[in-house]
Copies of this chain bind each other. A is one copy, B any other.
Amino acid sequence: MQSVGQNARVAARQMARATCGDKNAALRAIAARLESSLTILREANAKDLSAGRDSGLDAALLDRLELSEAGIAAMADGCRQVAALADPIGEVTDLSYRPSGIQVGKMRVPLGVIGIIYESRPNVTVDAAILCLKSGNATILRGGSEAIHSNMAIAKCIAQGLNDVGLPSDAVQVIETTDRDAVGQLISMPEFVDVIVPRGGKSLIERISRDATVPVIKHLDGICHVYIDKDADLEKAFAIALNSKTHRYGVCNAMETLLVHVSVANDILPRLCVAYIEKGVALRGCEQTCALVEMQAATDEDWDTEYLAPILAIRVVSDFAQAVAHIDAHGSAHTESIVTENYTTGRQFIAEVDSSSVMVNASTRFADGFEYGLGAEIGISTDKLHARGPVGLAGLTSQKYVVYGDGHIRT
C-alpha cells in the first residue's frame, strides 16, 4: 500500500498539471477502451457472478454485481458526459484589488489523492475514477471482494485510456488485493492520501470514519422530513408528500417522516393515507394520526429510523415550533421540506432548519447532484466541513489564494 500511495502522489502532481484537453481526451479514450473490451469485461464479470452464486449472494446483490452490455455502454456514456462538463480546475474567483495594491483571488485546484472505498457495484469503479480524473486528482480505489475480477478488468481499460493520451496510468489505481488490511492502511496514510470517500452502507461508513486518520467525506443516513404547514396549499402538499415518499423507496432523499400541522391534518391526512396505502406504503402514526386514520401506532424508534422502504411515520404537530423541534431531535440533517404559502413561515424554515438541503414547496427527492446542476455526483455529504449535501466535481477540489503584485512589499 505504501508504494501504491507513493505512485498516486507522483501521479497526482502530473494530473494537477494536465490540461482540460488532455483530461477530456483521456475520458474519451477510456470510453472507447470500455466499449472495445465488452467481451473481456463480460467474462471477468461472469467469474464474479459465478463466485457470488456459489457463495450464496442474494438476488439483489447479484443484480448489483452484474455488468450487462447496456451497463457497459452506460459507463462509456458516463465518461463522455464527464468530458463534456466544465473543468473546475484553474477557475479564479473573487479577484479584487486590496488597498495595498495587490490583487487577490482564489483559484480552484485538485485535492491531490482521493481514496474511494465502495461495495459491490463495479460501475462505481468508473464513475468515481472519472470524476476524480476530471477534477485533476489521482485516485486509489478499493472495491468489494465480490467484484474483484470485474473491477480489475475495468481498471485495465482505464489504465489503457490514460496511456493512450500520455497521462500516467497510476492516476487511477485499483487495489488488487481483497485483503481487509488494505482498507486499514489506505485510511491511515495521510502522507499519501488527502481524503477518503466511502460509498456504501452506513456500517461501512461509520467504521471508516471511526478508524481513519485521513479526512473522510461522509454520507450517513437520510431521515428526511416533509412538514405540511397550516398555511399549506393542500394540493401541493398532497403531491409533494406523495412524491417524497413513493417516487423511490431505497434512496437517502426519500421522506421517512411526515409532519402535519394539527389545523390541516383532518383535511389532508385521510386522503393522503388512502394514496399511500394504494401504493403499498405501510403507515405508522402518532396518537392523533391514528385517531384520524386507522394504522399501526408509531413507537419512539420510528421517529429515528431510516426505513429505505415503503414505510412512513406520520406525526401531527401543534405548531411550527414543534415541527422544527422534531426535526432537530430526530432528523439526520440531510433534507427537509416545508409546504406553506406563508412568506414568513417559509423564510423561517429555511433559516432555522440545519440540514444539508432545506426546501420550500418541493419534493425531498430533488436533493441530488444532477437535479442541482452539479453535472455529476460522487455522493451526498452529511458533514458540515468542506462539502455539504450533493458533492460534484467542485467537492473534489480545494481553493488556493493567488496574489498578483508589481513588486509590492508589506510596510
Interface residues of A (CB under 8 A from B): 13, 16-17, 90, 96, 98, 100, 102, 104, 107, 109, 111-112, 194-195, 210, 213, 215, 233, 235-236, 239-240, 242-244, 247, 328, 337, 350-352, 354-363, 365-367, 371-373, 383-386, 388-390, 398-410
The 8 A-B pairs of least Cβ separation, nearest first, read A362-B405, A236-B407, A243-B409, A359-B403, A365-B410, A384-B398, A357-B401, A361-B405
Residues of B near A109 (CB, < 8 A) are 354
Most buried by B among A107, A213, A390, A407: A407
Given A357-B400, A358-B401, A372 contacting B407 (CB threshold 8 A): no
* Set of chain B residues within 8 Å of A239, measured between Cβ atoms: 407, 409
A111-B385, A356-B401, A405-B360 known; A247 and B410 CB under 8 Å? yes
What residues of chain B lie closer than 8 Å to A90, measured between beta carbons? Answer: 351
This chain's copy number in the assembly: 2
Query: Within 8 Å CB of A215, what residues of B?
Result: 215, 383, 385
Please classify the interface of chain A as helix (H, G, I), strand (E, B), loop, or mixed, using the class held by over half of its residues: mixed
Determine the chain B residues whose CB is within 8 A of the CB of A372 once the complex forms: 98, 104, 401
Given contacts A16-B354, A243-B409, A356-B400, 9 further A-B contacts (CB under 8 A): A13-B328, A96-B373, A194-B385, A215-B383, A244-B409, A357-B401, A367-B401, A372-B401, A388-B401
Assembly CA distance A398 to B333 (angstroms):
13
Chain B CB count within 10 A is highest, among A16, A355, A367, A408, for A408
Q: Is the CB of A384 within 8 A of B112?
A: yes
A386 CB contacts on chain B under 8 angstroms: 385-386
- Name the contact of A358 in the complex, choosing from B240, B247, B366, B402 (C-beta under 8 A): B402
Q: What CA separation (Å) do A240 and B405 show in the bound complex? A: 10
Which of chain B's residues has its CB closest to A374's CB? B104
User: For residue A101, which residue of chain B has the nearest CB?
Assistant: B362
Complex contact A407–B233 (CB within 8 A): yes
User: Are A350 and B405 CB-contacts (below 8 A) given A362-B102, A388-B399, A410-B365?
Assistant: no
